[in-house]
Structure 1
Amino acid sequence: MTVESRELAELLDKQAIYEVVLRYCRGIDRLDFDLVRGCYHPDGIDHHTGFDGTVDEYLAWVQPKLESLAGTMHHLGNHLVELYGDVAISETYSTNVHWGHPDRGDFTSGARFVDLMEKRDGRWAIAERWAVREWTRSDEGRMIAPEAAGPRGTRAGGDVLDALRTRVGTRP
């Protein structure tokens, strides 16, 4: 393999890993739990604040928590991947906004997704994830009503993204 073809293969692997992290965030924010599940290998493990277990246990734990909120939005920042053949370490910085929590109100947290990614049968996915909470702040009383009519995000289907994907005729 030439240097150029190896570098291209590494770049493609890094992009595929980044897209796993992006799909995870979309799935969480849009309540698309099949999309979230697809980001993990079937035997994947997750470690979150207050949770450690398999991907299926994680989804059973997180789904009611997310459904009790009015919404979430994950913003990704720094993303670095260390490739070791078909195994990789991915670290992604994230700022996560949560609103309408029945007990805690509105809050924002800073975190890092530290992922052990594995490429199996040509597909990168999470083998093990640590959602490392760095900080949390209360945003109670800071949210305001929309300033005018216009597009608004919805969760669990019916979002403008879903409508556009239906119109284009694609739904991965």
Structure 2
Amino acid sequence: MSQSNQIEQMLAEREISKVLHAYCQGVDRRDWDEVRSCYHSDAVDAHGAYVGDPDGLVDWLKRRHDYVLSSTHVLTNISIRLSDDLQTARTESYCLSLQIVDPSSGDPFAGTGDEPVFTRVMSRYVDTFEKRAHDGWRILRRDCVFDWMRRMPTTDFVPIDPSWTMARRDSGDLLYADWPLRVSEPSLPRE
């Protein structure tokens, strides 16, 4: 493989990795435009309880995440296999999803009860990516492959000091603050 082919391959892998991470960050921050931007318009996502196009996926995620109080997606073991022409790729990403969910939603991960529960879901995203002239690398097909899930009460969670910067699931999160923050500035206004 020539040096220019190696560079093209590394750039493709980097672009694909950015999309994988953007999806997770978009879901965790409820940035639905970011989530949608990870998919081609004719893509299909098979996400367990949802199978369909990207617009339907975003609608489904919005409804579900109305009851998700905290969400973190952790990606590991990302493997990317590129086609010889560097126009398609097959990826596998391990994903550990950690969420606090209000069970009143009827969410199958949350179970039943009156108190929020802590859910952990281990899955893999097996994706087909395609590079297109105007859109670049995006997901063409995603299959969420489930390994296991666990649900626990949140009664043993330790309260966080309210003077600390708290995570938010919207544009009020520190991620979206004007930057660069100066050393002398507080992270965010306290509520």
- TM-score between both structures, scaled by the size of structure 1: 0.90
Q: Distance in 2 between matches of 1:154 and 1:148?
A: 13
CA RMSD of aligned residues (A): 1.9
Match of residue 19 from structure 1: 18
Contact 1:31 1:67 in 2 (8 A): no
Match of residue 133 from structure 1: 146
Q: Secondary structure at the match of 2:171?
A: coil
2:176 matched to 1:162? Answer: yes
* 5+ long unaligned stretches in structure 2: 105-109, 111-116, 182-191
Identity across matched positions, percent: 28
Q: Distance in 1 between matches of 2:39 and 2:101?
A: 28
Contact 1:30 1:157 in 2 (8 A): yes
Question: Which of 110, 115, 118 is 1:106 aligned to?
Answer: 118
Q: Distance in 1 between matches of 2:137 and 2:145?
A: 21
Q: Secondary structure at the match of 1:154?
A: coil
Q: Distance in 2 between matches of 1:77 and 1:164?
A: 29
Higher percent of residues as strand = 1
After superposition, what is the alpha-carbon deviation per residue over 1:137-157, rounded to whole angstroms, capped at 9, x for unaligned? Answer: 112234331146211111121
Q: Distance in 2 between matches of 1:53 and 1:9?
A: 32
Higher percent of residues as helix = 1
How far is 1:64 from its partner?
A: 1.1
Match of residue 184 from structure 2: none
Match of residue 96 from structure 2: 95
Q: Secondary structure at the match of 1:99?
A: strand
After superposition, what is the alpha-carbon deviation per residue over 1:97-138, rounded to whole angstroms, capped at 9, x for unaligned? Answer: 010332422210101011100000160000010111111011
Q: Secondary structure at the match of 1:62?
A: helix
After superposition, what is the alpha-carbon deviation per residue over 1:4-38, rounded to whole angstroms, capped at 9, x for unaligned? Answer: 11001001100100110000000000000000000
Q: Distance in 2 between matches of 1:138 and 1:70?
A: 15
Number of matched pairs: 167
How far is 1:166 from its partner?
A: 8.6
Identify if the C-alpha distance between structure 1 residues 145 and 90 changes in structure 2 by more than 3 Å, giving closer, same or farther: same
**Structure-to-structure mapping, 1:1-172, within 5 angstroms:** 3-84=2-83, 85-103=86-104, 104=110, 105-121=117-133, 123-141=136-154, 142-147=156-161, 149-164=163-178
Between 96-105 and 75-84, report the one with greater CA deviation: 96-105
Structure 1 runs of 4+ off > 6 angstroms?
Answer: none
Q: Distance in 2 between matches of 1:92 and 1:115?
A: 8
* 5+ long unaligned stretches in structure 1: 168-172
Contact 1:69 1:102 in 2 (8 A): no
Q: Which has the larger radius of gyration?
A: 2
